[in-house]
Amino acid sequence: MLDAFGGWSGLLLQPLQMLRGIASLFGPNPDTMSISVACLLALLAAIALPSRLRANHLDAWFTPIYAGLVLLWPYPAETGRLLLVLMPVLMLQAWHGTGLLATPMQQRLPAARRLPGAAVLVFVAACVPAWSTTIHRATLPIDPALAPYARTPAYFAVDTDSAATVHAESWARIVGMAAELPGVVPPGDCVYSLFPAMTWFLSGRATRVSEIPREVADGRAPLSGLRACRFVLPVNLRNSRVEVPPLFPLADLGSRASPVLHSEFRHEGRRIVAAVLLKLPAQAPAGQSK
């Protein structure tokens, strides 16, 4: 399970990723403002949590249990989506936390009683950019054949409508290529991928897929270490777990690997490669020279 987080360091940084996940609910691409609002929301909810636990409120028990599950969930890329469930509960707790802070001030400052409502309005207002982007992208004209692929988180998170269209087209082509794998990859052989579970599922669960080892992806080991499978599938997607460019390791392999399947398209005059199935070069057994 630790490999899913990138080792102990990644797991220890997961609380920060959870804050970024909350921030992503206020804006598709978390910035300083949305992260600050997320921190304020979490702080106010934390202030309210002890008193709500003492009062035996259901939400107070739900929050730490659910947050703990998300913290240890072995798919950190899904953190933002999973935390969406917690958002109404955090809003309620933030409203209560603001009330606890405002209570001592009410005798000297009567207007302080309005602080809880004001805090909720601030959090709702902070959601407007994300809602606006989501509505805009959801109504963006797109080829009907690509409509099923225009509902992914990345489709709504990329900066421009052009990039969103490229993402949807790439996704459609990746799905199509994965479906072809059982007819190309011999039984008993396997395919390397940075997205092993996704590739295996899209192949109809008919092709064995192995994850590219992290030490190869982050450069600590050479590509020659890819020996267990004879094929590798670079795709035009970013992996949240490893800092590698889309289509890794296509550029690094160069002409050493032979293309078996290739899918590309043109967008606004640019050539976009969506996915390539490569056959890795034969390597000498360990202990023998090439």
Query: Is the per-residue pLDDT at 9 higher than 80?
Result: no
Domain boundary among 123, 139, 155: 139
Query: Is the per-residue pLDDT at 121 higher than 60?
Result: yes
244 contacts 234 by C-beta, under 8 angstroms: no
281 contacts 256 by C-beta, under 8 angstroms: yes
Span 78-94, pLDDT tens digits: 777 788 888 889 988 98
Give the strand order in the sheet containing 270-279. Answer: 208-211, 190-193, 231-232, 270-279, 258-267
The residue written with tokens 């709702």 in the block is: 124
- Residue 290 falls within a domain, yes or no? no
- If pLDDT is split at 50, 70 and 90, which confidence band does 28 have? low
Span 214-259, pLDDT tens digits: 889 888 888 888 989 999 999 999 887 778 899 999 999 888 899 9
Name the H helices within 152-261. 153-157, 161-184, 196-202, 214-217, 250-253
Query: Is the per-residue pLDDT at 58 higher than 60?
Result: yes
Domain boundary among 95, 112, 139: 139
Exposure of 79 by Cβ count < 10 A (0-12 exposed, 13-18 middle, 19+ buried)? buried
274 contacts 246 by C-beta, under 8 angstroms: no
* Same domain flag for 75 and 119: yes
* Same domain flag for 106 and 227: no
Across 147-163, average pLDDT = 86
With a threshold of 0.95, does the pTM exceed it?
Answer: no
Sign of dihedral through CA atoms 252, 9, 80, 209? positive
Token pair of 192, please? 């390397």
- Residue 134, phi-psi category: left (phi > 0), alpha (psi -120 to 50), beta (remainder): alpha
* Same domain flag for 161 and 83: no
How far is Cα 60 from Cα 49, in angstroms, rounded to an integer? 6
Q: How many domains does the chain have?
A: 2
* Same domain flag for 111 and 62: yes
Structural domain that includes position 49: 2-139
- Residue 286 falls within a domain, yes or no? no
Burial 54-74 (b: 16+ CB within 10 A, else e): eeebebbeebeebbeebbeee
- If pLDDT is split at 50, 70 and 90, which confidence band does 25 have? confident
Beta-carbon contacts of 269 under 8 Å, excluding residues fewer than 6 positions away, are none
Task: Specify the higher pLDDT residue, 124 or 60.
Answer: 60
* Same domain flag for 158 and 255: yes
Domain boundary among 118, 139, 160: 139
The residue written with tokens 């509960």 in the block is: 89
